[in-house]
């Protein structure tokens, strides 16, 4: 793939143009990423407001009517609803249950059990599980990762 970048100071707003022979999953991911343009999430930890870099977030989950994210052994409280995050985060995040999103680059393995539950092992040794209902989304995300 040939990549070129042109700066145009006459534009009032940044603009991204892509030229492609045919649609492809790679182009779709680039467009999706550019459209979402989110790199940090506002969060709280120890009653302090902070910005959490998306690249550090391993897991986002709902518990006790609140939404949390987990990054490098630190938990943060988010002020957005899980469904809002699921629709705005980049494709590197996949919803694995009604109450949880994960970022694929932190996953070491997926174990598919005979009962239909998908056990997810993170690179840091933590585990979570996904419901059978989200199996299609998970497989699609793995194939495009």
State the pLDDT at residue 38: 66
Please report, to the nearest 10 degrees, the dihedral formed by the alpha carbons of residues 21, 16, 37, 31 taken in order: -10
Q: What end-to-end distance do the CA atoms of the chain give, in Å?
A: 18
CATH topology of domain 39-144: OB fold (Dihydrolipoamide Acetyltransferase, E2P) (2.40.50)
**Torsion angle (degrees, nearest 10) of CA 8, 9, 10, 11:** 70
Sign of the four-CA dihedral 22, 138, 33, 1: negative
Q: What is the pLDDT of residue 35?
A: 64
Residues 6+ apart with CB under 8 A from 19: none
In this prediction, residue 36 carries a pLDDT of 61
Is residue 25 scored above 90 in pLDDT? no
Find the radius of gyration of the CA atoms of the chain.
Answer: 18
| Residue spans per domain, the chain | 39-144
Q: What is the mean pLDDT of the chain?
A: 88
């Amino acid at each position: 793939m040939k990549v070129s970048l042109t700066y145009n100071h006459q534009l009032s707003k940044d603009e991204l143009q892509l030229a492609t022979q045919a649609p492809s999953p790679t182009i779709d991911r680039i467009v999706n990423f550019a459209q979402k343009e989110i790199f940090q999430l506002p969060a709280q930890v120890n009653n302090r407001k902070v910005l959490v870099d998306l690249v550090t977030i391993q897991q986002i989950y709902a518990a006790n009517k609140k939404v949390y994210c987990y990054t490098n052994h630190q938990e943060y409280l988010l002020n957005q609803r899980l469904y809002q995050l699921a629709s705005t985060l980049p494709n590197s995040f996949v919803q694995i249950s009604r109450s949880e999103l994960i970022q694929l680059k932190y996953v070491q393995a997926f174990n598919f059990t005979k009962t239909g539950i998908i056990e997810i092992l993170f690179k840091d040794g933590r585990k979570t599980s996904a419901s059978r209902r989200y199996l299609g989304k998970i497989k699609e995300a793995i194939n495009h990762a």
